[in-house]
Amino acid sequence: MNVRSKQLKIRNLPQDEKKKDCVSTKPYLWFLCTLIVGISLIFFFHLYLIGGLLVSVSLYYLIFIKNEILVDFYDTFAVFYHVSPLPDDCFLLYWNDVESWHFRSRTYDYEELMVRLKNGKEISLRCACKHKMQRFFEQNTLSAQTLTKQISQ
């Protein structure tokens, strides 16, 4: 069976769909909460050392660390960036090409998303936000499978 999912240049991505959501490297909500906790520790509890440490780490990450998009989610596909050593390559994964998927825990800083395509090929994609990825995969692969079943009947 032919599948449309493949590795390609970012400039060759389809331009006609609207992005639904994304996963990025910088969790803004987490750093803002840490910043607020640090400020609260300083002003309300007079814990200057701990509060100052939390504020300085949060501000450092918010200001100096570069935010990169790892995955973009669309209605009919997902785009995975940073899958190759070449900076302008990405992996385009169409939802209706997915036969099965699961997460595999790694012993270090991330998990892998293992995807089996309908042509039997298995791909391994780095996963940063497991809960968001799981939500989109459950939602989109189930709807793609039911649509395929309806078309074939």
* Residue 88 contacts residue 100 (beta carbons within 8 Å): no
Q: Could you list the pLDDT tens digit for every one of the 153 residues in the chain?
A: 789 999 999 999 999 999 999 999 898 999 999 999 999 999 999 999 999 999 999 999 999 999 999 999 999 999 999 998 999 999 999 999 999 999 998 766 678 899 999 999 999 988 888 899 999 999 998 766 665 555 555
35, two tokens: 């910043």
CA distance 80 to 127: 10
134, two tokens: 């799981």
pLDDT computed for residue 111 by the predictor: 84
pLDDT computed for residue 129 by the predictor: 84
CA distance 150 to 153: 5
Give domain limits for the chain.
28-64, 69-152
pLDDT computed for residue 144 by the predictor: 62
Fold of 69-152: PH-domain like (2.30.29)
C-alpha atoms less than 13 angstroms from C-alpha of 140 in its C-beta half-sphere: 21
Q: Are strands 21-24 and 98-105 parallel, antiparallel or unpaired?
A: unpaired
CA distance 50 to 119: 54
pLDDT computed for residue 32 by the predictor: 96
